[in-house]
Amino acid sequence: MEGLIAGLQRLTGRAVPAAAPAHFEVAREVGGPWLLSELWNELGLGKALGGALHTAQRRFDAEALVRVMVFNRLCEPDSKLGVLRWLERVVIPGVPTLGITHQHLLRAMDVLEARRHRVARALSARLRPLLDQELSVIFYDLTTIRIHGEKERAMELRCYGRSKESKGPARQCVLGLIQTADGLPLDFDLFEGNVAEVKTLLPMLKRALARYPIRRVVVVADRGLLSMDNVGELEQLRLKDRQALEYILAVPAGRYGEFVAAIQRLSFATDAPSVRETWVNERRVVIAHDPETATERSQRRRQKIDELTALGERLAQKLDAQDAGRTQRGRRASDRGAYTRFTRAVLEAEFSRFIQAELEAERFSFNVDEAAIERAERLDGKRVLLTNVQDLDAETIVAGYKALADIERGFRVLKSEIEMAPVYHRLPARLRAHAMICFLALLLHRVLRRRLKRSGSSFSVEQALRSVGSIQLHQVTVDNRSLRGLTTMTPKQMTLFEQLAISRPSEKGL
């Protein structure tokens, strides 16, 4: 009828009213938040946190705000103010994002920390169905979390300790993380930045034993966690029923002469990986040798030594030519300057045990310690494992340790994809709440990774979230009518949702 009327108006020469212009709203991302929301609800995390955080006195939905911060860690990690900017560009099913403020996010963090024991119990109840009936091996590791801020506070977590990133003193806290053999995070805790490693271990293990059906604890840890100096203290730890703690611990053999001597007494295959075992100080030692790795490391070391030797010879030749009266371009060289430049290069390469410049000599000179190089080459390709597990053969001990390489990806995910550090919060309660948010993000990340791996997908978690990120909600107003629709999914995106066993986005669910 409107078309007919407009035609009659044109026929009679009357003015035709101009059509109202179409109004397009900013497209908002749906894919990533939808995928994470479906997984969040499927795991029962919404109900678990909702029950743990609920109180009749609160006028905001703490669970929804925590969910927003967790999803942001996986989709586009940013500060809490950055979360607000991110919310302007996304749609999170079931979460009315309009009106969320920075203060709301901080209050939700405070509630999360105040109820953290209730939250931890609720989470453990949801995680048990994802575990085997009885866990026999759990992995424990520590990492340092860099923190900004100089002002000291009561009950301070931010202490100066040796940073694993900078290898020097830094203000930090320490994160302890317990994971299953397939990388599912079970528990975490934050400790002061200068805490001793062993002191963090027992409280977390006892808590894990109380929450999960663990019949035996074999702690697998990298050489960065425990050293020979505190293995004795580790062996004194007792779990429930006076059960001794079992361990598989990588040892930096080069620091201890007794391990070097033990390796020299054993013979290893030169054409294939081999495993040997012996005893050192009445403790069982398993040594795995990889000839290919040994060759690569030896070649890299020799190449670097050749580069440093060539530098030293060039410096010496320049000094000799200068003494002989053959001038060269550039600044006049000195023996002290050559020593400083050469020593700096050696220190940067961390090769001072192989090459030393003569400090007291009148003329610049240096020595290459061939005996030290040979000792290092005998350790190349050797993985030395100290263990008190007696009922597993040497190959199984090595396999258990190698699984740690996959487990350590959890820390890399926390620091790279989730961007847990650096942290700018001052209050200890906010630091712990931030760690809980990152822990929940890691949990979702590992569940997604496990599903992708089991389905044979070639996607990583990051690639999957990036792929579905192009699914957006589009809204347009035409002639006072509001139209909305989702981006048409590609075959690759539809396959990805099938591999994850997660329903596809729909307008009704938004």
SS3 of 420-456: CCCECCCCHHHHHHHHHHHHHHHHHHHHHHHHHHHCC
Average pLDDT over residues 436-459: 92
Report the alpha-carbon distance of residue 132 to residue 46 in Å, rounded.
23
Q: Which residue in the block uniquely carries the two structure tokens 């302890």?
A: 176
b/e string for 355-377 if b means 16 or more Cβ within 10 A?
bbbeeeeeebebeebeeebeebe
One domain for residues 257 and 395: yes
Which of 342, 363, 379 is the last residue before a domain boundary?
Answer: 379
Evaluate if residue 425 carries a pLDDT over 90. no
One domain for residues 259 and 392: yes
Do residues 311 and 345 make contact, with C-beta atoms less than 8 angstroms apart?
Answer: yes
Average pLDDT over residues 38-56: 90
Do residues 448 and 83 make contact, with C-beta atoms less than 8 angstroms apart?
Answer: no
Do residues 442 and 183 make contact, with C-beta atoms less than 8 angstroms apart?
Answer: no
Q: What integer pLDDT is reported at residue 409 of this predicted model? A: 65
pLDDT in tens, 177-219: 888 877 788 888 888 877 766 677 778 877 887 888 777 777 7
Q: Which residue in the block uniquely carries the two structure tokens 């820390």?
A: 411
Report the alpha-carbon distance of residue 318 to residue 334 in Å, rounded.
9
Please indicate, yes or no, if residue 273 is contained in any of the structural domains.
no
CB atoms within 10 A of CB 82: 12
pLDDT in tens, 134-160: 666 777 777 777 776 555 555 567 677
Please indicate, yes or no, if residue 77 is contained in any of the structural domains.
yes
pLDDT in tens, 281-315: 888 999 999 999 999 999 999 999 999 999 999 98
One domain for residues 393 and 256: yes
Please indicate, yes or no, if residue 366 is contained in any of the structural domains.
yes
Which residues 6+ apart lie within 8 Å of 428 measured at CB? 153, 155, 156, 157
Q: Which residue in the block uniquely carries the two structure tokens 């069982």?
A: 284
Q: What integer pLDDT is reported at residue 337 of this predicted model? A: 86
Evaluate if residue 271 carries a pLDDT over 80. yes
Evaluate if residue 361 carries a pLDDT over 80. no
Pick the closest to residue 342 from 332, 356, 328 (CA basis): 356
Q: Is 366 helix (H, G, I), strand (E, B) or coil?
A: strand
Do residues 61 and 48 make contact, with C-beta atoms less than 8 angstroms apart?
Answer: no
One domain for residues 339 and 246: no
One domain for residues 190 and 77: no
Do residues 74 and 417 make contact, with C-beta atoms less than 8 angstroms apart?
Answer: yes
Angle between the 461-468 and 491-499 helix axes, to the nearest 10 degrees?
Answer: 130
One domain for residues 413 and 464: no
One domain for residues 220 and 194: yes
Q: What integer pLDDT is reported at residue 235 of this predicted model? A: 79
Domain count, the chain: 3
One domain for residues 219 and 338: no
Please indicate, yes or no, if residue 2 is contained in any of the structural domains.
no
Please indicate, yes or no, if residue 419 is contained in any of the structural domains.
yes
Average pLDDT over residues 334-352: 89
Report the chain's mean pLDDT, rounded to a whole number: 84
Do residues 388 and 280 make contact, with C-beta atoms less than 8 angstroms apart?
Answer: no
Q: What integer pLDDT is reported at residue 430 of this predicted model? A: 87
Please indicate, yes or no, if residue 327 is contained in any of the structural domains.
yes
Average pLDDT over residues 247-270: 83
Do residues 60 and 107 make contact, with C-beta atoms less than 8 angstroms apart?
Answer: yes
Please indicate, yes or no, if residue 359 is contained in any of the structural domains.
yes
Q: Mean pLDDT check: name the lowest of 114-123, 235-244, 452-461, 471-480.
A: 235-244
Q: In the structure, what pLDDT confidence band is assigned to residue 411 with cuts at 50, 70 and 90?
A: low
Please indicate, yes or no, if residue 86 is contained in any of the structural domains.
yes
Q: What integer pLDDT is reported at residue 71 of this predicted model? A: 96
Pick the closest to residue 20 from 372, 481, 451 (CA basis): 481
One domain for residues 262 and 342: no
One domain for residues 173 and 58: no
Range of the domain at 99: 23-118+452-509
Q: What integer pLDDT is reported at residue 231 of this predicted model? A: 78
Q: In the structure, what pLDDT confidence band is assigned to residue 35 with cuts at 50, 70 and 90?
A: very high
Dihedral sign for Cα atoms in the order 290, 407, 465, 501? positive
pTM for this entry: 0.77
One domain for residues 255 and 163: yes
One domain for residues 33 and 53: yes
pLDDT in tens, 225-246: 556 666 777 777 777 677 777 8
